[in-house]
Structure 1
Amino acid sequence: MEIPIKSNILRTLFRDCYFINGTACAGKSTMVRLLAEKHGGICCGENYHDVLMDAVDPENQPALSYFQTMGSWQEFISRTPREYAQWIDGCSQEAAGLEIARLIQLAGEGKKVFVDTNISPAWLKGISDYHHVAFLLAPQSLSVESFFDREDPEKQFILSQIQQAENPEKAMENYRECLAEVNSPAVYRAFESSGFFTLLRDGTRTIEEMLAVLEKHFGLGLA
């Protein structure tokens, strides 16, 4: 049985939550971490909802359960861009429920909560407002070409699987096409037309300047 929670209740619960969504390599994780450190808040980094993954099952969350049902990691990296994008979208939709459940747990701690989220613009309109949401965007080329540049264990593991493929160059080309699909111009337009605040990582701002822009947007002042 689905148990609905009205939007006005969630907006009240999440009045101290600040959501950052957007494309890959746009600085979401960095901004969430720095904001939490500077303002004494809780940092909900990428996949922060994983603490609730034990509740996930293939019937109710087929996308999030993919790693339980897939044939191999080579299957994972060999999917078509369309299949990959559909899976990412499915994960985002299913993870939104886990994120909201986790944020309800954290909302009672009396601190500001900074969230690296995959919750969609449509859902965010229901649970938050303009000054608590920001979308960070990076050029598609950066999102694709720089994806494996960071020492993120999950990304480095995927890279290792690509390198172990029968044809590593072909596998890398396919995976980059997958990344391009989930960071496509259509995805950018959806963020830009959402009615929420957007900030482009285009190399014209330092990390400190991006942080200051977000603080101003979120109304965090100099605290």
Structure 2
Amino acid sequence: MRHVYWIGGGSGAGKSTIARRLAERHGWYVYSADDVMADHARRTDAGQAPFLHAFMAMDMDQRWVERSPETMLETFHWFSGEALGLILQDLALVPRRTPVVVEGFRLLPHLVRPLLTGPGEAVWLLPTPEFRQVAFSSRAAPEGRFTRKTRDPERAEHNIAVRDALFTERLREETGRLGLPALTVDGTMTEEELAERVAEVFRL
């Protein structure tokens, strides 16, 4: 894994944007962990990923409306590291001669740390709740959001926002405890400035 760089963090932090910028600048291959979630779900069974398959069995209201944000956090499959091994299987197929930048919220610090061969290989982007709200409101019109498929879209949006804020704080605590680099994303930096900060962490 010496040729792999990791960009984890909370949803809406700009991980994909920063990964693309660095890849274009340095000729890297981009692996988006978010883009392969559906494929990874198909490649698991209930024994390998119990939280994932319990989630798949729920309807939209059970997933997003009827459970508390705290329960959603503790039982969300990707937040528990389920199927991370499939990411590693995918990366093993990428030629080692090409550096790879892996990005996605599924990259949990305690699971990535054993894969690092030295400093400057991983960073986590931690969005403030305010930044995340702005980022997501600009991505899709309200009528296009999946929460519209629930009986209470406003409640679903609230639950997801609280859950993701709790997840980001968990990442902040974990990166601090493990001594891993983390950057707060609050809108005070431009995308280019944030890319430069990540490049500094990667010692580029």
Which TM-score bucket, shorter chain as reference? 0.7 to 0.9
Range with bigger deviation, 167-176 or 125-134: 167-176
Shift of residue 133 of structure 1? Answer: 0.4
- 2:82 match: secondary structure: helix
CA distance in 2, matches of 1:53, 1:170: 26
Counterpart of 1:54 in structure 2 is 42
Name 1:131's counterpart in structure 2: 120
Deviation at 1:82, TM superposition (A): 1.9
How far did 1:40 drift?
1.4
Partner of 1:88: 76
Q: Which TM-score applies when normalising by structure 1? A: 0.77
Contact preservation (8 Å) 1:52, 1:102? no
* 1:20 lines up with 2:4 in the alignment: no
1:20-39 counterparts in 2 under 5 A?
20-39=7-26
Residue 160 of structure 1: aligned partner: 148
Deviates more, 1:27-36 or 1:173-182: 173-182
1:64 aligns with 2:19: no
Shift of 1:84: 0.7
Residue aligning to 2:166 = 181
1:77 aligned residue: 64
* Matched letter for residue 134 of structure 1: V
8 Å contact kept, 1:49–1:95:
no
Task: Indicate which of 99, 103, 106 corresponds to 1:116.
Answer: 103
Contact kept in structure 1, 2:120 and 2:203, CA below 8 Å: yes
1:3 alignment counterpart: none
> How far is the alpha carbon of 1:92 from its aligned partner?
4.0
Q: Are 1:49 and 1:98, in contact at CA under 8 Å, matched by a contact in 2?
A: no
C-alpha separation in 2, matches of 1:98 and 1:111: 20
Letter matched to residue 107 of structure 2: I
Instruction: Name structure 2 gaps, 5 residues minimum.
Output: none
Alpha-carbon separation, structure 1, partners of 2:126 and 2:119: 17
Task: State how far apart, in whole Å, the 1-side matches of 2:79 and 2:173 are.
Answer: 20
| TM-score under structure 2 length normalisation | 0.83
Q: Distance in 2 between matches of 1:119 and 1:169?
A: 28
Higher mean displacement: 168-177 or 120-129: 168-177
Q: Say whether the 8 Å CA contact 1:121–1:191 is kept in structure 2.
A: yes
In terms of Rg, which structure is larger?
1
User: Counterpart of 1:131 in 2: which secondary structure?
Assistant: coil
User: Which amino acid is the alignment partner of residue 62 of structure 1?
Assistant: P
CA 1:125–1:177 in structure 2 vs 1: closer, same or farther (change >3 Å)? Answer: closer
Report deviation, 1:73. 1.2
AA partner of residue 111 (structure 1):
T
Cα distance in 1 for partners of 2:127, 2:120 equals: 21
